[in-house]
Amino acid sequence: MKVIGIDTNEAKKSEEVLEKLDEFKEEHDVFIQVFDAGKVIGDEHLLWAYQKAEESFESGTNRANSIEIETLLWASAEWQIKDALAKMGLKDDAEKGVVLIEREELIRDLLDFMDWSRDDDAFEPNQEKLKEFGVKETEMRSVEEPIELVFEKMATSVL
């Protein structure tokens, strides 16, 4: 699994982007999920969400019918698909996004197919993203690695 940031180069409706992305996924038989760059708190965030989604399917506790949507649910710490999409899904007219892709060798093909540019700064963690995820400043100051607070929210949201 590889996490990459993307610049869409041209704002489009999310539905149009997702339809085109589905074409690529089907053609290459590959896992790809795209996220709102403003909500992704580093590559560990999405890699951990994917791992938890895989575990959910293995144990039969998955809530979604696809590993992509299950990953989105875990990443967002939301358990209603509409809430997860609203929180972390690619927005209409988005200029930045983050992609989780199964096969690194397809990254260049994906970027070309979608007419995207790579921009890994798009998923850099920062305090603003942590706040949007519901982490308070006092919590950030109380830990060495604030991403751990996001993992905690993701893990406890299933209870």
Query: 89 CB contacts (<8 Å, ≥6 apart)?
Result: 14, 34, 35, 36, 72
**pLDDT value of residue 93:** 83
| Domain boundaries along the sequence of the chain | 2-156
Cβ density class 118-149: b for 16+ within 10 Å, e for less: ebeebbebeeebbeebebeeeeeeeeeebbeb
Question: What CATH fold (topology level) applies to the domain 2-156?
Answer: PF0523-like (3.30.2380)
CA–CA distance, 88 with 37 (Å, rounded to integer): 8
Contact 56, 63 (CB under 8 A): yes
User: Nearest-CA neighbor of 49 among 62, 91, 107, 97?
Assistant: 62
Q: Is 136 left (phi over 0), alpha (psi -120 to 50) or beta?
A: beta
The pLDDT score that the predictor gives to residue 159 is 42
Contact 41, 133 (CB under 8 A): yes
In which residue ranges of the chain is pLDDT below 70? Answer: 140, 143-144, 146, 153, 155-159
